[in-house]
Amino acid sequence: MRQLLPVPGDVDPVAAYLAAARPTPSARPWVTMSMVTSLDGATAIGGRSGPLGGEPDRAVFRAVRAIADVVLVAAGTMRTEGYGPVRLSAAAAAARADAGRSPEPPRLVVVSGSLDLDLAKAADGPVRPLVLTTQDADPTRRAALEELAEVRAYGHGQVEMAPALADLHRDGVGVVVCEGGPSLNAALVEADVVDEWCLTLAPTVVGGDSRRAVDGAPEVGDAGHPLDLVSLLEEDGVLLGRWVRRR
Domains and CATH numbers, the chain: 9-19+28-35+51-206+225-245 (3.40.430.10)
92-132 pLDDT tens trace = 999 999 998 999 999 999 999 999 998 989 988 888 999 99
57-76 pLDDT tens trace = 999 999 999 999 999 999 99
Q: Is the pTM of this model over 0.85?
A: yes
> What band does 208 get if pLDDT is binned at 50, 70 and 90?
confident
Identity at 192, one-letter amino acid code? D
So what's the pLDDT on residue 237?
95
Q: 22 vs 80, 144, 222, 244, CA distance in Å?
A: 30, 37, 27, 9
For 124-154, the three-class secondary structure string (H helix, E strand, C coil) is CCCCCCEEEECCCCCHHHHHHHCCCCEEEEC
So what's the pLDDT on residue 222?
63
Question: What mean pLDDT do residues 141-153 have?
Answer: 96
Percentage of the residues of the chain whose pLDDT score is greater than 90: 80
So what's the pLDDT on residue 172?
95
End-to-end Cα separation, the chain, in angstroms = 29
Whether 221 has a pLDDT exceeding 80, the answer reads no
Decide: 3 and 160 in contact? Cβ < 8 Å. Answer: no
